[in-house]
Structure 1
Amino acid sequence: MPALSPTMEEGNIVKWLKKEGDTVNVGDALCEIETDKAVVTMESSDEGILAKILVEEGSKNVRLGSLIGLLVEEGQDWKQVEIPADVGVPSSVASPTPAPTPAAPSVSAPPKLQHQPGKLQVRLSPAARNILETHGLDPSNVTPTGPRGIFTKEDALKLLQEKQKGKPSELKPVVSPAPAAVPSPSQATAVTSYSRPAIPPISTPGQPAAVGTFTEIPASNIRRVIAKRLTESKTTIPHAYAAADCAIDAVLKLRKELAKDDIKVSVNDFIIKATAVTLKQMPDVNVTWDGEACRRLQSIDISIAVATDRGLITPIIKDAAAKGIKEIAASAKALAKKARDGKLLPEEYQGGSFSISNLGMFGISGFTAVINPPQACILAVGRARPELRVVEDEEGNEKLEQHQLMTVTLSSDGRVVDDELASKFLETLKANIENPMRLALN
């Protein structure tokens, strides 16, 4: 299992594109691997014959460096290939785990160790500990399946199912409380029994769900990374918000004129271009935070949020300020398609200096977005809506005119973009959007 992204720790085998016995050349696509970012095609760096597939399609959480397949040179008997004993093999194909031996006492035991006199110490995940304590289960008779010998939630649920099926050998004896004193007849009428609230039963796959149960949906690698990064962003970045209403009548008029010449561009393409031009005019906003210092970036690379079946991903339009509207439209369309197909290359979604998230097509008028670290800002774009405004004509008379307004909300990292700078950025962006001819000058 190769590292296909800088933050990848494990991957899922989505599909094998070669089968055992197939000839493989350098550069041939071997399989599709879901990383923590996207689904990436793994290409062969050698030639030969694919002799053995050790990890089947659909396998989850395969650690980096684990053996997933064997390639032999042409002419060798690929059917008689032997699995090397000194190479890391995933747990699904490795030999059974040997029985654990008593652990030596340590000076400071980890907080997740469960220790009972005369029994082995077991490393418990928080979810597993809760299930074991709730149902009075003993994990010492079960071999943990988690990484580094951790007793996981799945191990605890399996143990609970065995208990419900009546396998007492796996259960931890529950000590009954000492019998209470028998109340006198006069006291008996005043004693009321209150039972502890029942824990919702565990749902069983293939059986109708009882009232109060739930179905656990396994999280993909991409979904887990999204959850981790969003939590990191909201807990470590001081978000500040500022909003402005932009009139897009001129953009709509120009877009209509371009359509007559068969040049198809969207309002979002104008927003990307206007944002890039504004960042060029105000380079202090085109920055990232590395934990200790602010870094002003030379290239203006706009990350555009794209919703996919596997979660949100942000492909990047590189050097957007130097591109024209038509070129930006073509790049955005191609990147969005590759993102939804899970075919983005790492260099197409890693990095970026500024993000844009547009929910206008879903009818959202305005919202605040979460900053994508280490970037300092993200622009949330709402839908266009008609509104009446009071304007003055050439003679100074006031009259009502209908305009198409769009709300843009800037989420900024208060450590590097203060309120004044954010306000000036929105003011400049508003002027660029409302006067799209300015974009042709940059």
Structure 2
Amino acid sequence: MPTPIKMPALSPTMEEGTLAKWLVKPGDKVEAGDIMAEIETDKATMEFEAVDEGTIASIAVEEGTEGVKVGTVIAMLAEEGENLDEAAAAAPSDAAEAGDDEAADTAEADTGAKDEPAKAAPRASAEPARAAIETDTKAPAAPKDDSGGRIIASPLARRIAEQKGVDLAGVTGSGPRGRIIKADVEGLETGAAPAKAEASSPAPSAPPKPATLGGDLDAPYEAQKLNNVRKVIARRLTEAKQTIPHIYLTVDVRLDALLDLRKQLNSSLEADGVKLSVNDLLIKALARALQRVPACNVSFQGDELFQYTREDISVAVAAPSGLITPIIRDAGKKGLAQISIEMKELAAKAKDNKLQPQEYQGGTASLSNLGMFGTKQFDAVINPPQAMILAVGAGEQRPHVIDGALGVATVMSATGSFDHRAIDGADGAQLMEAFKQLCENPMGLVV
């Protein structure tokens, strides 16, 4: 009996995702543990492994489809010796694109019914339902092509075609069994009636045309859909600024001693293939500062204050899909070399969208460093439910008082953003002072 492959929940908070890429096709044999697809969650793109062995009978959700609900059937897996055509026919109609609610019903997907869905008896399996649907004379007939054959298209593709005034009879589908999907029609111009393409090649898509905004904002633009990561960033940071009373505290930190220590440590660690970055030392400095001022290693939780006994530092990394914060756990107890190795591995995974949920979920405080871009100073937005984030700028040569005399030193501005519900200004100031002392007297980072 064929096995439905369903959209997995790849993180505790995942309700829907984007099927970014299929790595298998109908007819391919898979074994347990084989990578079948890449799925974009609300934080990263993750690999989806097969849990059973068999042959891919059909693909129900095309790659690039957004908003696929967890539990949606995305493919069918045939057992050894099973007829692939029969296994494919047992699948529900091609799954909804972009979370289209209409396509969740098999009757709607096959007949294109919208206002009056076909009424079929409750189904024990998809096959009886399909038979009942196709024989129900009350269901509106699906559109047909010039030869009288039924046009197979997803509900979303039909709706887009109706809005654009596109005749689906002139569109060649690139979906399973020639089904017309969203990608086949969304690039067509309004009112276009494309010529029938060769069966072996998909219908050509016209490039999107720049549009203009009305009123004063009349500059040309091209609309881009938000990916899942950007949606989460927008939601969480809006929540942070609307619900968290931020307080900002800034200190200037002299870095010369820290830079000298880094040079000495890198010289001694060269044989081990380890090269410390300034950011590695700042991660350790923040963790040690939290150990010295535990009142800042907290989070506000309604009528409770959570006091953490471990310093898990979330480090902001710019990934292709958006900002993400992999975590150096228990950073206060880890050596600088270990922090450096872990940070390089996590940053590489973040940039390849390969982070696992346990590698970015959690954290008790955050560090954001824009110094490499020459930014002098900035205020970062707190990442809830954390209660603080440290923003560090570039180290630069500035006039500075050294031992009572004016001189030139390498100075960095660091700004702490604190949740004033959980952290008083005096406690935040103590943390910033502890961070400054650790950077200016960095031997405390290696003991």
TM-score in terms of structure 2 length: 0.73
**SS at the partner of 1:374?**
coil
1:417 corresponds in structure 2 to 423
Runs of 4+ in 1 over 6 A off after TM superposition: 85-88, 154-157, 159-164
1:243 corresponds in structure 2 to 250
- 48, 53, 58: which is aligned to 1:47? 53
1:218 corresponds in structure 2 to 225
> Structure 1: 5+ residue runs without aligned partners?
103-142, 147-151, 167-203, 393-397
- Counterparts of 1:127-166 in structure 2, within 5 Å, are 158=164
2:142 corresponds in structure 1 to none
Q: C-alpha displacement at 1:314, in angstroms?
A: 0.5
- Counterparts of 1:315-394 in structure 2, within 5 Å, are 315-392=326-403
Is the Cα contact below 8 Å between 2:295 and 2:307 reproduced in 1?
yes
- 13, 18, 23: which is aligned to 2:19? 13
Aligned counterparts of 1:436 and 1:412: Cα–Cα separation in 2: 24
Aligned counterparts of 1:229 and 1:259: Cα–Cα separation in 2: 38
Q: After superposition, what is the alpha-carbon deviation per residue over 1:113-153, rounded to whole angstroms, capped at 9, x for unaligned?
A: xxxxxxxxxxxxxxxxxxxxxxxxxxxxxx9959xxxxx9x
1:408 corresponds in structure 2 to 414
Q: C-alpha displacement at 1:159, in angstroms?
A: 7.8
- Counterparts of 1:90-109 in structure 2, within 5 Å, are 90-91=96-97, 94-100=109-115
Is the Cα contact below 8 Å between 1:354 and 1:377 reproduced in 2?
yes
Check 1:285–1:55 CA distance in 2 against 1; reply closer, same or farther (3 A cut). Answer: same
Check 1:207–1:367 CA distance in 2 against 1; reply closer, same or farther (3 A cut). Answer: closer
Aligned counterparts of 1:292 and 1:373: Cα–Cα separation in 2: 16
Q: After superposition, what is the alpha-carbon deviation per residue over 1:80-102, rounded to whole angstroms, capped at 9, x for unaligned?
A: 31444679942587324524259
**SS at the partner of 2:340?**
helix
Aligned counterparts of 1:144 and 1:78: Cα–Cα separation in 2: 25
Is the Cα contact below 8 Å between 1:144 and 1:155 reproduced in 2?
no
1:105 corresponds in structure 2 to none
1:78 corresponds in structure 2 to 84
Q: C-alpha displacement at 1:205, in angstroms?
A: 5.0
Q: After superposition, what is the alpha-carbon deviation per residue over 1:305-337, rounded to whole angstroms, capped at 9, x for unaligned?
A: 000111000011111111111110111111000
Is the Cα contact below 8 Å between 1:66 and 1:88 reproduced in 2?
no
2:241 corresponds in structure 1 to 234
Check 1:231–1:97 CA distance in 2 against 1; reply closer, same or farther (3 A cut). Answer: farther
> Structure 2: 5+ residue runs without aligned partners?
1-6, 104-108, 118-153, 167-185, 193-205, 213-217
**SS at the partner of 2:393?**
strand
Check 1:408–1:206 CA distance in 2 against 1; reply closer, same or farther (3 A cut). Answer: closer
Work out whether 1:257 is the aligned partner of 2:257.
no
1:302 corresponds in structure 2 to 313
Aligned counterparts of 1:7 and 1:47: Cα–Cα separation in 2: 28
Aligned counterparts of 2:420 and 2:244: Cα–Cα separation in 1: 8
**SS at the partner of 1:241?**
strand
Aligned counterparts of 2:49 and 2:250: Cα–Cα separation in 1: 46
What percentage of aligned pairs have identical amino acids? 45
1:56 corresponds in structure 2 to 62
Q: After superposition, what is the alpha-carbon deviation per residue over 1:263-312, rounded to whole angstroms, capped at 9, x for unaligned?
A: 41011111000111111222221112233321112221110000011100
Q: After superposition, what is the alpha-carbon deviation per residue over 1:343-379, rounded to whole angstroms, capped at 9, x for unaligned?
A: 1011101111111000000000000000000000000
**SS at the partner of 2:14?**
coil
Aligned counterparts of 1:4 and 1:40: Cα–Cα separation in 2: 8
Q: Which amino acid aligns with 1:217?
A: Q
Larger radius of gyration: 1
**SS at the partner of 2:65?**
coil
Q: After superposition, what is the alpha-carbon deviation per residue over 1:62-107, rounded to whole angstroms, capped at 9, x for unaligned?
A: 12211111112122122431444679942587324524259xxxxx
Q: Which amino acid aligns with 2:226?
A: A
Is the Cα contact below 8 Å between 1:377 and 1:411 reproduced in 2?
yes
Q: C-alpha displacement at 1:400, in angstroms?
A: 2.6
Work out whether 1:35 is the aligned partner of 2:70.
no
1:133 corresponds in structure 2 to none
Is the Cα contact below 8 Å between 1:67 and 1:87 reproduced in 2?
no
Check 1:312–1:163 CA distance in 2 against 1; reply closer, same or farther (3 A cut). Answer: closer
**SS at the partner of 1:49?**
strand
Check 1:208–1:281 CA distance in 2 against 1; reply closer, same or farther (3 A cut). Answer: closer
**SS at the partner of 1:407?**
strand
Range 262-271 or range 282-291, more displaced: 282-291
Q: Which amino acid aligns with 2:241?
A: K
Aligned counterparts of 1:374 and 1:245: Cα–Cα separation in 2: 27
Is the Cα contact below 8 Å between 1:65 and 1:88 reproduced in 2?
no
Aligned counterparts of 1:369 and 1:426: Cα–Cα separation in 2: 15
Is the Cα contact below 8 Å between 1:5 and 1:37 reproduced in 2?
no
Q: C-alpha displacement at 1:208, in angstroms?
A: 6.2
Aligned counterparts of 2:189 and 2:62: Cα–Cα separation in 1: 31
Q: After superposition, what is the alpha-carbon deviation per residue over 1:175-223, rounded to whole angstroms, capped at 9, x for unaligned?
A: xxxxxxxxxxxxxxxxxxxxxxxxxxxxx95446566543211111111
